[in-house]
């Protein structure tokens, strides 16, 4: 797993919802609870393309958001 620098995470946003992103593993998760999108990180590069996004389940989204709150 490649950690995206916090400076970049502060500047990056979900291309669909424009909300903040948080990292979990090799994914960046949009923090919007209504959409629940995630975007892959490949070779250390966030792929913030709508076509590359996936919608995650409510349960997975909540788990990632809880982990993000603890850090």
**CATH code assigned at 63:** 2.20.25.10
**Digit-coded pLDDT (tens) for 7-63:** 999 999 999 999 999 999 999 999 999 999 999 999 989 999 999 999 999 999 999
Section 63-67 average pLDDT: 95
Residue ranges with strand state E in 1-71: 21-24, 27-30, 37-42, 45-46, 54-55
Quote the pLDDT of residue 71: 67
Q: Which two tokens stand for residue 7?
A: 């400076």
- Alpha-carbon distance of 4 to 17, in angstroms, equals 20
SS3 state of residue 4: coil
- Domain-located, residue 1: no
Residue 37 lies in domain: 6-70
Quote the pLDDT of residue 2: 82
Total structural domains within the chain: 1
SS3 state of residue 28: strand
- Domain-located, residue 13: yes
């Amino acid at each position: 797993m490649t950690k995206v620098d916090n400076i970049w995470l502060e500047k990056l946003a979900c291309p669909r919802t424009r909300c903040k992103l948080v990292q979990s593993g090799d994914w960046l998760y949009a923090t919007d609870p209504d959409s629940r999108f995630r975007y892959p990180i490949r070779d250390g590069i966030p792929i913030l393309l709508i076509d590359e996004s996936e919608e995650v389940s409510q349960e997975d989204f909540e788990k990632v958001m809880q982990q993000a709150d603890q850090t």
